[in-house]
Structure 1
């Protein structure tokens, strides 16, 4: 079964996180939600106050626990993206996935974690517009809603979350599954 890790931290953007997890699971992708630096409370308080309980905590795992996964996703939300960007283990997982030609995906502010993990220098990428200047010196920056360059997938923000998630499904399990989900969910998105 195709599998994905979706990271979450305090300050993660709810829509970007939830839409990605939901759409991947609708496509029968095994999704493991991994909380990062959540402390003793056991949940992430997202950017709009929604509380989400992860499946596991990064701190209770080892790098080997993630070796068989096919995709790693970093959602946006500035505070959450900064936590994920600054976490050494998250960066190691992302770098390992990228180097092994596994899919790595970043949406909104999450793209700052890609740069911090030294992923894809010179490749085409996008982010939330506020990060264009910071990322333009590292990436061939695009303002497209979703950008795919090899195994690197990036997207702009909450309004692009469905297209981003459907693109991930298309890359992981095929265009047919993505198109079927698009019709079932009545999304106005086209790939």
Structure 2
């Protein structure tokens, strides 16, 4: 890299389907942006604000069909209805298949590992998920212990209460443990 070239910050794509779990969207986006990651939120269809699982409306940056460029990670939030929409999207399936084939990072939280199962990607990997979908997800993968499970290029987590740990694990992977620690400290997380 030449001295006059700008440093390229990591890029993250956060998919935001209708019915997504809003905590899992907003906390991940916030933590990654605090850590200097360029996060693009993309809705699956339309351009209107997305209504999340608890009625919070989020205004995505763009539509999924309009995304451009490469991303260092694709993040799938949970939320029952949101995950149904992730599963129903052939475009999401194609994106996940391409990323798996190239060994690129994917992160899924809560019920979102069901989308991995549905699209037949990351089979037999160690993962975690929300207890309400665990039996279905574990037909596809191996059960991992802990709030966050990392298996190569796959990061998974259990649900809303583990979202900070999930986001910090993604940040550590993209920017390093030092930056993740610097972001975590002022958040005043218990424990």
State TM-score, norm by structure 1: 0.91
- Larger mean CA deviation between 138-147 and 122-131 belongs to 138-147
Q: Which one has a bigger Cα radius of gyration?
A: 2
Partner of 1:20 in structure 2? 28
**1:60-75, aligned counterparts within 5 Å?**
60-61=66-67, 65-66=68-69, 68-75=70-77
Which of the numbers 54, 61, 64 marks the counterpart of 2:60? 54
Q: Are 1:44 and 2:50 matched, yes or no?
A: yes
1:93 CA drift (Å): 1.1
Which structure shows the higher helix fraction?
1
Q: Are 1:84 and 2:86 matched, yes or no?
A: yes
Distance in 2, matches of 1:100 and 1:4, equals 16
Q: Are 1:161 and 2:163 matched, yes or no?
A: yes
1:143 CA drift (Å): 4.2
Write the deviation string for residues 94-143 of structure 1: whole angstroms up to 9, x where unpaired: 22122212110000011111112222211101110011110112101124
Q: Please tell me the root mean square deviation across aligned C-alpha atoms, in Å.
A: 1.3
State TM-score, norm by structure 2: 0.91
SS of the equivalent of 1:34 reads strand
Partner of 1:149 in structure 2? 151
Gaps of 5+ in 1: none
Partner of 1:97 in structure 2? 99
Gaps of 5+ in 2: 1-8
